[in-house]
Amino acid sequence: KMIEVLENVEGAEAAVLGDIHIAHNDVEATKVSFKLLDEMKPKHTMLHDIVDCESISHHEENDPFRVMQKEENGTGDLRNELKIMLEWAKARLKYNLVVVRSNHDDFLDRWLRSVDWRKGRNKRMFLYGANILANEAVAQKKGVISFLLEDAFGDQITTLGLDDSYRVLGWELGVHGHVGANGSRGSANQYKQMNTKMITGHTHSPSRQDGHMCVGTLSGLRVGYNKGASSWMHANALIYPDGKAQLIYIVGGKYCRDMK
């Protein structure tokens, strides 16, 4: 038996949510996830890829038809995407949010460092972000997304830099999953060999191998670039007061548990 309805247990020490991706966030999966948090009352709620940065994604900058589509439907507006991110976080501050530095957060810093603002879109947002990156220590250490969140909410939210550790009951929760040891690409095979237990995100495909666990996503399961067969799934993780951790899947509008 692989899935059954989650039974009532004595709360949770931490929750690790599937990657958020605000531009593609699945409203129903997110609603169910926070219903779970209301019942489990975790002391820490880890967020991966809180923003998608679809508006300025380098993956699509050389596709003129995709750029045109984003201009016409409004998804190419960086100001609006960041506004939605801040509104999303503000509505959930009571859950003790901890934002893990993730690759989609880095899209913004990469854009600021690489584009010619005179020729591209979002010119005023470029100048605004460039000023932050040039002058704010938080942005230089942890990225512009971290600065924006801390500037808006202060100590009501915690943000992490790429090399910041965040451990809860022996589990390392400060790693997104896109960067591995010594700057290499991260992978489950690498993480499971570490000398600490870890819960990461990034792949959108929940898995568990030895001491490593990976959550899924809270985005849509089809967002355009995952073509063909897909292992993406709505899935979060909980760490219980005894230090044990469990993947929690969202299937048919209900949260379910793995049976390993």
Residue-wise pLDDT tens digits, 86-103: 999 999 999 999 999 999
Q: What is the predicted pLDDT for the residue at 1?
A: 36
Entry pTM: 0.91
Dist. CA 153–CA 146, nearest whole Å: 11
Q: What is the pLDDT of residue 9?
A: 59
Radius of gyration in angstroms for the set of CA atoms belonging to the chain, rounded to a whole number? 18
Kindly give, in sequence order, each residue whose CB lies less than 8 Å from that of residue 87, ignoring residues fewer than 6 positions away: none
CA distance 223 to 1: 30
Q: Is 152 exposed, middle or buried (0-12, 13-18, 19+ CB in 10 A)?
A: middle
User: What is the three-class DSSP state of 149?
Assistant: helix
- The predicted structure's pLDDT at residue 158: 98
**Strand 97-99 vs strand 44-47: parallel, antiparallel, or unpaired?**
parallel
Element at 71 (helix H, strand E) = helix 64-73
Helices then strands, counting H and E runs in the chain, come out as 8, 13
Half-sphere exposure of 145 (CA within 13 A, CB side): 33
Q: What residue type is assigned to position 10 of the chain? A: E
Count CB atoms within 10 A of the CB of residue 86.
Answer: 17
DSSP state of 108: H
Q: What averages of pLDDT result for each successive group of 10 residues across the chain (260 residues)?
A: 49 96 95 95 97 90 85 90 98 98 96 93 96 97 98 98 96 94 83 91 95 96 82 96 95 74
> What are φ and ψ of residue 170, in 5° steps?
85, -5
